[in-house]
Structure 1
Amino acid sequence: MSNTAYMVNGFDVARTGQLKDQRLKSIVERRANALGPGYKLFYRAPVELVRGEGVYVYDNDGNSYLDAYNNVPSVGHCHPHVTAAIAAQAAVLNTHTRYASSQLVDYAERLLGTYPDEIANVMFTCTGSEAVDLALRIARFFTGGTGVVVTENAYHGLTTAAAEISPQLGPNVPIGTHVWTVPAPRPDRADGADVGEAFAADIRTAVTDMQRHGVRFAAFIADTLFSTDGILPEPAGFLTRAVEEVHAGGGLYIADEVQPGFGRTGERMWGFQRHGIVPDLVVMGKPMGNGMPIAGVAARPELLSEFGTKVRYFNTFGGNSVSIAAANAVLDVIENENLVQNCRDVGAYLKAGITELAQHDDVLAGIRGSGLYIAVDVVDPGTGDPDADRTMQLVNGLRERRVLISATGKSASTLKIRPPLPFASNHADIFLQEFSAALTDLRSR
């Protein structure tokens, strides 16, 4: 079995000998020998990156690639304000949260100020996976249950607890015995019913079945863009009924904001705000520090009052001084450069451009998105069926044109376009030009 198993847009190590670039071939071979088969590379021909700036990354030959994929460097690669904050703090002090620090508290208060009033505590971790793990612990402690509901192709992380609720990792990473899955909230599978009502009914059915098997319900976790389910943002507000159903079943709603958070949807700071809901727990990931190891769980205080006094939790590197400085600088950039509004405006412009292209190409079907997170379904023009092969041809065709995107969805047939937040209209124009050319190339094959 090749190393592309269960990874969309993965490089097949069996093709290493076919790489023409001898330097790249050597790196790939050495990487496989040193790191083993667990580490994956993107694209049919991997990209060696040596530098990044803004929405561009650069290879060893100095070629620039338009990055329309990476969300971790949320405010752009190597943003000077963030890198300066990191360097300055690293030269002064880097320690953990068991010492009093005004810097830590200042950031926590500032971050919580972006949340609804009901969310008033935050705990820091290093990664989103750790944050999901912590959120599950809190939910299970508070409810006394163990059962978790997720969507059929969800991904929430790589710790043991997070992997058990991540069906997207494939059949060799089985979901936990306490985990129930529900179909993703796609309007086209609601059989004409309101998508929110249909999704809430699926959750109610899952919780009822869970309880019938003697498992007490603890939590429903989802990101509000349903990123790995194919990116399903619409209609705004449809999650309201689902959350009501979760609470009626005695569980908590955990909003995974690693993907939708920090303004990416172009409407508010947090993806859940599009739905007019207030989660019980919110998970954040490395975009909060532009790639530095910082993540966290924001919570309603009543969920932590007993957990915090009875359960010993400490994360040595979570909330360290340098990562906090980076995270604070990220908020500066989001505010000072009006990146939420930029996501809204440029995202709408980019989506409109893709929609225009789709009117003239029957390979492109559904187009969805909110802000700078856009999905494009790719289909067989003869049958209208999802077409993973054509999807990969487009992903790699764009890579050959030095534009980076990837794919998502249960059938791996949805283009995932998710650039850093400063992506501007001129970058969108470049993307649309190269995307049009990649479509032309696809038709000629």
Structure 2
Amino acid sequence: MATKSSIMDTNSYSDDYSSLLSNTTRDMINRREKWMGGAYRLFYRKPVNLVRGQGQYLWDAEGNKYLDMYNNVAGIGHCHPAVVEAVTEQMKLLNTHTRYLHERIIDYSEDLLKMMPDEIDKIMFMCTGSEANDLALRVAQEYTGGTGIIVSREAYHGTSALTSGCSPALGSEQPLLPNVRLIETPDYYRHGGTPEEFTAWYLGEMQKKIDELAATGYKFSCFLADSIFSSDGVHPNPVGFLKAAIDVVHKNGGVFIADEVQPGFARTGDAFWGFARHGIIPDMVTTGKPMGNGIPISGLAAKHEVLAAFSDKLPYFNTFGGNPVAIAAAQAVLNVIKEEKLQDHCKVVGAKLLKALQEVKDRHPDSVGDVRGAGLFIGFELAKNDGKKTPDQQKALDAIELLRDNNVLTSVAGPYGNVLKLRPPMAFQECDIDWIASTLDKCLHQLES
């Protein structure tokens, strides 16, 4: 039996809900389905027609204001004036590809690499995280001479043929590549034990998967992971468990690719990069979404000796990757993160948000199993109070619909589709905490009555 995509199908519109829609919304969906490919998905049983954004807020076509608790594409906030100005001014001058000299791309490369560990000293640019991960996997194979890939059980790493074959979150209709093995989700909530016991278990799982690859004739190449395990349900802790697993990766001749599309660019508060929370120096780092605050740009940063195994043999060209307009956006984002001290902001405001959400959990012991997170990246897990921590997907899906009806936008994550992924733009303020906490509290009361 085919399993649905946890990131595409769990919280998506279907025609079963057409009776809930206004005539205007139904007409838009009909037009969309007539002209656009059927692989697309819309959020919510009643899709939202958004027309404007500012900071952490969004407005629909009827003028209703929403709190965005999900969008890390506009990482520093929707329509940030610094990005709008930078993109506008550069567009007036020039937009072309990277086969001409342009000072902006060199300056930005230097500035971004200064935010990396010293060992990460080269960078290349693309347009999407999918492209960055695709290239990283190719580089890993050239450097190690192997093809075996390990990803987490509910990982999502992209939409290319190579990365979709490494993305079990896309569902069973998207087959995994034969050289891919899935390591268990690092779910401390369910696994239990001390941090030391959990770490020992996880590094043992890593060795087991490496051995499985070898037993089936695949030399180990790499472990590709998002260090907050977002699609797996947001698993940031215990801090340091991931480093022990990366030590196993290196001892077995593999490389670690840190997919920072989700946890990167100051979001976790503890560090600028998600991998840095765990004390890790990756071999490669991939970035995307929030890098340009909505302008398509991504990157692959790497140790020079790792990248050289690929680049000394093969040229690489991406027509729009690193174009001056995209670089202008990325530079503006990086400047804003520094100038507005957004890493500290995420740490301070994120801790207060986590505390407020834990208080909501305490008021709903029959509905909420766990609340966990780092900075402005929090997983709010709905589980039954049955002594078994049974995931409650239905309640989670009903909760996000009620939140949407109360003008708070988010979605679900995890293999069971029962974790609310609360990841607002970093423009989210302390004054917004009551909005999400009180609304979530009200929605849970409604579901429990």
* TM-score in terms of structure 2 length: 0.96
- Which letter does structure 2 place at the counterpart of 1:12? Y
Q: In structure 1, which of residues 257, 277, 280 is the aligned counterpart of residue 280 of structure 2?
A: 277
1:33 deviates by: 1.1
Query: What is the CA deviation profile of residues 126-168 of structure 1, one whole-angstrom value per residue up to 9, with x for unaligned ones?
Result: 0000000000010000111100011111111111100011111
**Structure 1 residues 150-165: aligned runs within 5 Å:** 150-165=151-166
**Aligned twin of 2:444:** 439
1:94 has 2:95 as partner: yes
Distance 1:269 1:118 in 2: 16
1:256 has 2:259 as partner: yes
Q: In structure 2, which of residues 384, 396, 412 is the aligned counterpart of residue 380 of structure 1?
A: 384
Shifted more, 48-57 versus 15-24: the winner is 15-24
Q: Secondary structure at the match of 2:294?
A: coil
1:420 has 2:421 as partner: no
Q: In structure 2, which of residues 320, 324, 339 is the aligned counterpart of residue 321 of structure 1?
A: 324
Q: Secondary structure at the match of 1:273?
A: helix
Q: Secondary structure at the match of 2:93?
A: coil
**Structure 1 residues 62-141: aligned runs within 5 Å:** 62-141=63-142
C-alpha contact 2:83 2:329 (8 A) present in aligned 1 = yes
How many corresponding residue pairs? Answer: 444
Distance 1:20 1:298 in 2: 45
Distance 1:369 1:190 in 2: 17
1:382 deviates by: 4.8
C-alpha contact 2:17 2:45 (8 A) present in aligned 1 = no
Q: Secondary structure at the match of 1:12?
A: coil
1:9 deviates by: 4.1
- Which letter does structure 2 place at the counterpart of 1:244? D
1:3 deviates by: 12
Distance 2:155 2:398 in 1: 24
Q: In structure 1, which of residues 357, 365, 370 is the aligned counterpart of residue 374 of structure 2?
A: 370
1:314 deviates by: 0.7
Distance 1:298 1:117 in 2: 11
Query: What is the CA deviation profile of residues 204-223 of structure 1, one whole-angstrom value per residue up to 9, with x for unaligned ones?
Result: 01111111111111000111
**Aligned twin of 2:206:** 203
**Aligned twin of 2:351:** 348
C-alpha contact 2:21 2:46 (8 A) present in aligned 1 = no
C-alpha contact 1:16 1:28 (8 A) present in aligned 2 = no
1:2 deviates by: 13
1:381 deviates by: 3.6
- Which letter does structure 2 place at the counterpart of 1:28? I
Q: Secondary structure at the match of 1:120?
A: strand
- Which letter does structure 2 place at the counterpart of 1:343? C
**Aligned twin of 1:36:** 37
Query: What is the CA deviation profile of residues 206-243 of structure 1, one whole-angstrom value per residue up to 9, with x for unaligned ones?
Result: 11111111111100011110111111100111111101
C-alpha contact 2:269 2:376 (8 A) present in aligned 1 = yes
C-alpha contact 2:2 2:172 (8 A) present in aligned 1 = no
1:393 has 2:395 as partner: no
* TM-score in terms of structure 1 length: 0.97
Distance 2:207 2:416 in 1: 26
1:439 deviates by: 1.3
Query: What is the CA deviation profile of residues 56-93 of structure 1, one whole-angstrom value per residue up to 9, with x for unaligned ones?
Result: 11100111110010000000000011011011101100
Distance 1:29 1:338 in 2: 45
Runs of 5+ consecutive residues of structure 1 not aligned to the other structure:
none
**Aligned twin of 1:214:** 217
**Aligned twin of 1:189:** 191
Runs of 5+ consecutive residues of structure 2 not aligned to the other structure:
none
**Residues 377, 70 of structure 1: alpha-carbon distance in 2 compared, 3 angstrom cutoff:** same
Distance 1:240 1:117 in 2: 18
Q: Secondary structure at the match of 1:122?
A: strand
**Residues 405, 208 of structure 1: alpha-carbon distance in 2 compared, 3 angstrom cutoff:** same
1:428 deviates by: 1.2
Distance 1:370 1:149 in 2: 24
**Aligned twin of 1:224:** 227
1:442 deviates by: 1.1
